[in-house]
């Protein structure tokens, strides 16, 4: 994939954020990385998603964090995206949102418990919740690294979510699934206490989904 294709993909993923109801107004951003070239592209700050075109995305050098000739400023969340790419070598796409149901868990500082086979499939663990951190320097990135488990998403206390994957498209899937299972679990909590799936049971679902599911 060349950088033009990466711009296309990351633009499409950003435009999907309001479509999948993960963002309101400008409250989220997606990026994608070309690790070979050491360049990432990220949503520009404060631009409407439906007006976004590939050329608007801001290209950034992974190592220096410097913007490569762009008429627009990058998302203010760029430092957190950079930190995750620099410290998680398997990651090629990152998404940050304040999606409602997942952020409801973040507001009370609770993880999304491993109580559904859909959570076992996709995440293989609870979706952890990082205690509140401010937005200074690497605080968010460091907290994510400290609290993450095998799941490709975390909740940030009193804030929102970060999700990631091998590509921006994979990160979108993780972000959408985070919101979807958070919604189901929150509904379940109105009816009673959701029952945790034991780790050895969860492993069966995770293994099937990651090693045998699909074409
Ligand atoms: Zn945020």
CATH of the domain at 203: 3.40.225.10
What pLDDT does 200 receive?
Answer: 95
Q: What is the pLDDT of residues 43-92, one digit of tens each?
A: 999 899 999 999 999 999 999 999 998 899 999 999 999 999 999 999 99
Q: What is the mean pLDDT of residues 26-55?
A: 95
pLDDT band at 27 (very low <50, low <70, confident <90, very high): confident
Question: Is residue 4 scored above 80 in pLDDT?
Answer: yes
pLDDT band at 25 (very low <50, low <70, confident <90, very high): confident
Q: How many A from CA of 201 to the centre of ligand 1?
A: 34
What pLDDT does 214 receive?
Answer: 78
Q: What is the pLDDT of residues 88-121, one digit of tens each?
A: 999 999 999 999 999 999 999 999 999 999 999 9
Cα 50 from Cα 42, distance rounded (Å): 15
CA-based torsion, 157, 161, 166, 170: positive or negative: positive
Question: Is residue 215 scored above 80 in pLDDT?
Answer: no
What pLDDT does 41 receive?
Answer: 98
- Residues involved in catalysis: 121, 213
115 touches 123 (CB < 8 A): no
Number of domains in the chain: 1
Q: How many A from CA of 156 to the centre of ligand 1?
A: 9
Q: How many A from CA of 6 to the centre of ligand 1?
A: 23
Q: What is the pLDDT of residues 145-203, one digit of tens each?
A: 999 999 999 999 999 999 999 999 999 999 999 999 999 999 999 999 999 999 999 99
Q: How many A from CA of 162 to the centre of ligand 1?
A: 9
The whole model's pTM is what? 0.95
Q: How many A from CA of 124 to the centre of ligand 1?
A: 25
Q: Which domain holds residue 179?
A: 3-211
202 touches 196 (CB < 8 A): no
Q: What is the mean pLDDT of residues 127-156?
A: 97
Q: What is the mean pLDDT of residues 27-54?
A: 95
């Amino acid at each position: 994939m060349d950088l033009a294709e990466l711009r296309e993909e990351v633009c499409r993923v950003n435009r999907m954020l309001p479509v999948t109801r993960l963002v309101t107004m400008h409250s989220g951003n997606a990026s994608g990385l070309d690790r070979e070239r050491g360049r990432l592209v990220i949503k520009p700050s404060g631009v409407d998603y439906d007006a976004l075109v590939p050329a608007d995305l801001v290209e950034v050098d992974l190592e220096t964090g410097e913007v490569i000739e762009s008429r627009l400023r990058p998302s203010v969340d760029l430092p957190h995206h950079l930190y995750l790419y620099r410290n998680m070598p398997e990651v090629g796409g990152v998404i940050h949102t304040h999606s409602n149901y997942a952020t409801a868990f973040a507001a009370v500082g609770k993880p999304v418990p491993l109580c559904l086979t859909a959570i076992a499939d996709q995440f293989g663990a609870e979706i952890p919740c990082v205690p509140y951190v401010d937005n200074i320097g690497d605080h968010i990135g460091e907290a994510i690294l400290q609290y993450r488990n095998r799941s490709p998403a975390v909740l940030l206390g009193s804030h929102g979510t970060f999700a990631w994957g091998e590509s921006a498209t994979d990160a979108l899937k993780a972000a959408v699934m985070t919101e979807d299972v958070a919604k189901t679990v929150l509904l379940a909590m109105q009816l009673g206490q959701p029952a945790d799936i034991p780790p050895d049971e969860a492993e069966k679902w995770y293994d099937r989904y990651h090693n045998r599911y699909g074409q």
